[in-house]
Amino acid sequence: MNGLPQAVLVRRGAYHDSVALMRVSRALSELPGVQAAMVAMATDLNVSILRELGFGVQEAGPGDLVIAVRARDTDAAVREADRRLAASSSRAHGAAGDQPPLTTRSAAARGPADLVLISTPGEYAFFEALDAVEAGLPVMIFSDGVPVESERLLKELAEARDVLVMGPDCGTAVIAGAGLGFANVLSPGPVGVVAASGTGAQQVTCLLDWAGTGVSHVLGVGGRDLSAEVGGLSTRRALRMLDDDPATELIVLVSKPPDPEVARALEAEPPRTPVVRALLGEGAPDLTQATEQALRALGRPVPEWPSWPAWRGTRPAPERIRGLYAGGTLSAEAALLAGGGDFVDFGDDAYTRGRAHPMIDPALRVEALGRAGETDVVLMDVVLGHGADPDPAASLAHAVARTPATVVIALIGTEGDPQDLHRQAAAFREAGAAVFTSNAQAARHARSLL
């Protein structure tokens, strides 16, 4: 299909959410007769990617939308892009013809707001978040790529305004039952979660759900909040908020390895509400063990965490573990427990700039599975819930079945999630993988195979 016609259109001032644009791009790329397609805002990064793909982009700015297709029928491809963009815009803004506000402050002025959710390129997220904080509104910053100095300044201003900043790079939150970002379907209950980690919070809350225990709120604070540079500013506020919440009987604090001084400072300021610390590190409990501690503290039984053994027969003895992860905290936990190996966090900023998160787009991990050998144990996570791939088994199971490696999967989800956890587990097991609902148990199983 080399030498197919191509079309590049620039729509001035036509902003769309980056995740929605990535989904449109992916859908177009999968259409018959389409060789390449990208629908994106004309940021410097996206324009450079378009040029690498062989598209000539006329003068455009970061507030402009670019539709670029190379296909047998470019007109049909552009019409399909417009149809999908219109459907996405309709879902986001309501009735046709309803003009969306152009700034965070003007949106807040339209009517009462409880929270501002920001998902823009990182270089613009700080200014929108600043707008929200100065309007006296709490903010969740889904965007990554915000400089740590800007994060610190924003959280100091938020402290003065008595509001919470969740993020930057806050992938998961649940506020009074409403999931934001990547969120699982959870029952209401007595556990509040403060999380400097999205997938870590998802692991803990999904295990709690398996044990019949719900959550009051999940407050994400961003992966750098417990660093020395930020000093746990949002963590302290989130702990105070849950401490004042009558529905919260116990708090679980989740994070990748924190700065030791920041962790000690938090221990010196304990809230009245009991806190279980799930702070990864040498000698610390893993996320599953911390969840079990929380259940015991509430006087609730600890169940056997579901798992599905592999169906595959005898294979050569594995020699090394390769971790292909979408969640950074799950990757860090698995690397600690596996005792070595080659681990890649495909959700890191280095892999997500200009492309969808691996919880949405499996392409990079499919390629990595194709490079695995018969003496590898591939350890990977599959995270369910709203915002994630609507059917990850359809995207990944064929690659699992084809790889000569032994595959172990941590399947993070609840029975209420829209992907149907049991169907996902069955599909991966039929493809030859061993499946665990506990990432820690998956990592220990992978290590036992060496």
Weakest mean pLDDT among 48-52, 256-260, 317-321, 423-427: 48-52
pLDDT mean across residues, the chain: 91
More confident call, 317 vs 444: 444
Which part of the chain has CATH 3.30.70?
Answer: 6-93
- From the list 368, 354, 352, the residue with the least C-alpha distance to 25 is 354
Measured CA to CA, the distance from residue 315 to residue 89 in angstroms comes to: 50
Biggest alpha carbon–alpha carbon distance for the chain: 68
Whole-number pLDDT of residue 77? 93
Q: What does DSSP say about strands 406-412 and 376-383: parallel, antiparallel, or unpaired?
A: parallel
More confident call, 40 vs 241: 241
Q: Which residues touch 53 (CB under 8 Å, ≥6 apart)?
A: 36, 38, 68, 70
Residue in the structure block whose two tokens are 């596996």 = 338
Weakest mean pLDDT among 38-47, 187-196, 288-297: 38-47
pLDDT in tens, 257-272: 999 999 999 999 899 9
- From the list 261, 303, 265, 260, the residue with the least C-alpha distance to 284 is 260
Whole-number pLDDT of residue 3? 76
The average pLDDT across 143-169 equals: 94
- Are 126 and 146 contacting, i.e. CB atoms less than 8 angstroms apart? yes
Whole-number pLDDT of residue 23? 84
Which part of the chain has CATH 3.40.50.261?
Answer: 104-297, 307-448
The reply to whether CATH 3.90.1150.180 applies to domain 307-448 is no
12: Cα within 13 Å, side-chain hemisphere:
2
Weakest mean pLDDT among 15-29, 232-246, 384-398: 15-29
The pTM is what?
0.84
The reply to whether CATH 2.40.50.320 applies to domain 104-297 is no
CATH of domain 6-93: 3.30.70
Whole-number pLDDT of residue 1? 46
Backbone torsions φ then ψ of 307, nearest 5 degrees: -150, 160
Structure tokens at 284: 């610390």
Measured CA to CA, the distance from residue 393 to residue 391 in angstroms comes to: 6
Phi/psi class of residue 207: alpha, beta or left (left: φ > 0; alpha: ψ in -120 to 50)? alpha
pLDDT of 245 higher than 80: yes
Residue in the structure block whose two tokens are 């919470």 = 164
